[in-house]
Amino acid sequence: MSRALPASPAPTSTWHMYRAMVGVGVCCGLLIVGVFQATRPVIERNKAEALQSAIFQVLPDATASTTFRLRDSGDFAPVDGSAAGGDGEPLVYAGYDDDQKLVGLAVEAQGMGYQDVIRLIYGYSFADEAIIGTQVLESKETPGLGDKIETDPGFLENFERLDVSLAQDQSSLAHPIVPVRHGNKTQPWEVDGITGATISSEAIANILNQSAQQWIPRIQRNLQDFQGGE
Amino acid sequence: MAVSTKTTTDEFIKGLWKDNPVFVQVLGMCPALAVSNTARNALAMGLATAFVLVMSNMVVSSLRSFIPKEVRIATYILVIATFVTLVDYVIQAISLDLYKALGAFISLIVVNCLILGRAEAFASKNTIARSTMDGLGMGVGFAFALFSIGAVREIFGAGSLFGVSLFHDAFQDWVVMVLPSGGFFTLAGWLLLFNWIKQRKAQRERAATLSLTEEAAR
């Protein structure tokens, strides 16, 4: 240890450090704000288009739609701008055919899946008193297993006509939607599960049941709100 | 430094093959395994990472005399995070479906050790042109590696490539390949192949030099 260690270089002044960090920070901030402003209208349009196409997917006979909001008084009022879509806002989307006749309602629902929250939209037909289509809007289910809830043709057949008729007192479903094991479906309100995706397919049935129990009695009570809403 | 004798083209090519980030350096494993379940996701993730890599290398290299070494890592992360945020918005604007598939992994590009590694080890010491080529080479190499893994996993796991069905309906999907374990199997397979090629090349070179010295001795 006879030799002295080489002298360490002089420390950088605080001013230089501040200059670098603040300078880079300000430039980065401006860049982010600029790109955010530029892409926001496109992103919002994409989201609205995705919602709009999902509505027509679950209500195949509809050619136009109007958004309705559930008011505190318990009835529905139309919202300006089609398919507004807001987080947590109690919205439903009424679908009309070419003759302005109400064909059904699309309702958003969500609940816990296997990995994360599953968000979906389903179409309710007044004529059939049934769910006539569903589409998953957001899910992080396991690729190859849980994501069959979006692709499995046998599973999707469940929702071509899933019975959600109301009980006598009009306050709840006559038969709750229940998941059953694959191949055991005997009633129109049962959801035939998927082998290998039990939890995800049961989650869909439970999400639909919860949402239908809550929304369909309300919708039926306020049916006149949606008539000729275009 | 040996690097200085290299041309910018060499900087580009090394990332593709000799120093491939995934198959040789084994960096950035989190996205390489997590987002490579289909060819489309893998390629999109690879290109997003490549873009961030090129841009951050360019910026870091051009600011290399401006950033004091005490705050360099914090500044690099700031630069990288900015470009990742931009990519995040742009992907949302291009395709919501793609955004849904890549999910949380876009934001995680910030902590991809490959990007910070290139900023610290290369861009902070080299010219802008050289750093850009280095980033481009590494980025394309990374995208290529992700695509190689993603394509194999999609072909076996879903019987398709870029969503186009390849086999007869009777093909039974090999589901394990799209699950996380399939990522490890596929990566191991590619690493095996790469190392085998490298070893064979080294053996041939050794044999060639040996025969040359033998000839000279005669």
pLDDT tens per residue, range B128-155: 999 999 999 999 999 999 999 999 999 9
- Which pLDDT score, from 0 to 100, does residue B29 have? 87
Exposure on the CB side of residue A202, measured as CA atoms within 13 A: 9
* Spatial separation of the C-alpha atoms in residues A30 and A21, rounded to whole Å: 14
Q: Nearest by CB to A32, which of B70, B86, B95?
A: B86
Judging contacts by C-beta atoms under 8 Å, the chain B residues touching residue A120 are: none
Give the type of residue at A182: H
Contact predicate B123/B134, CB 8 Å:
yes
Residue to mutate among B91, B100, B186, with most A CBs inside 10 A, is: B100
Task: Write down the domain spans for chain A.
Answer: 43-226
Asked if pLDDT for residue B10 goes beyond 60, the answer is yes
| Average pLDDT over chain A, rounded to an integer | 85
Least confident of A33-42, A219-228, B206-215: A219-228
Residue listed under structure tokens 């302005």? A100
In this prediction, residue B120 has a pLDDT band, given cuts at 50, 70 and 90, of very high
- Which pLDDT score, from 0 to 100, does residue A5 have? 60
From A44, A153, A163, A64, select the one nearest A106 (Cα to Cα).
A64
Asked if pLDDT for residue A4 goes beyond 80, the answer is no
Asked if pLDDT for residue A190 goes beyond 80, the answer is yes
Residues A106-134, mean pLDDT to the nearest whole number: 89
Least confident of A202-206, A220-224, B187-191: A220-224
Q: Nearest by CB to B157, which of A24, A50, A144?
A: A144
Q: Nearest by CB to B96, which of A20, A21, A46?
A: A46
Q: Is B146 exposed, middle or buried (0-12, 13-18, 19+ CB in 10 A)?
A: buried
Our CA-based measurement puts residue A124 at a distance from the nearest CA of chain B, in whole angstroms, of: 25
* Spatial separation of the C-alpha atoms in residues B26 and B11, rounded to whole Å: 18
The percentage of residues in chain A with a pLDDT greater than 90, rounded to a whole number, is 24
Judging contacts by C-beta atoms under 8 Å, the chain A residues touching residue B69 are: 12
> Using beta carbons and an 8 Å cutoff, which residues of A are at the interface with B?
11-12, 16-17, 19-21, 23-25, 28, 31-32, 35-36, 39, 42-43, 46-47, 50, 138, 140, 142-145, 196
Give the residue on A whose Cα is nearest the Cα of B175.
Answer: A144
Quick: pLDDT tens for A18-50: 999 999 999 999 999 999 999 999 999 998 888
Helix (H, G, I), strand (E, B) or coil at B170: coil
> Using beta carbons and an 8 Å cutoff, which residues of B are at the interface with A?
37-38, 63, 66-71, 74-75, 78-79, 81-82, 85-86, 89-90, 92-93, 95-96, 100, 103, 157-158, 173, 175, 177-179
Our CA-based measurement puts residue A223 at a distance from the nearest CA of chain B, in whole angstroms, of: 34
Judging contacts by C-beta atoms under 8 Å, the chain B residues touching residue A140 are: 103
Whether B71 sits inside 8 A of A17 (CB atoms) is yes
The percentage of residues in chain B with a pLDDT greater than 70, rounded to a whole number, is 97
ipTM of the complex: 0.79
Give residues with Cβ within 8 angstroms of A157, minimum separation 6: A192
Our CA-based measurement puts residue A32 at a distance from the nearest CA of chain B, in whole angstroms, of: 6
* Spatial separation of the C-alpha atoms in residues A177 and A187, rounded to whole Å: 10
- Which pLDDT score, from 0 to 100, does residue B2 have? 44
- Which pLDDT score, from 0 to 100, does residue A88 have? 59
**pTM for the whole thing?**
0.77
In this prediction, residue A1 has a pLDDT band, given cuts at 50, 70 and 90, of very low
CB neighbours (10 Å) of residue A61?
16
Give residues with Cβ within 8 angstroms of B166, minimum separation 6: B155, B159, B160
Q: Nearest by CB to B82, which of A17, A31, A196?
A: A31
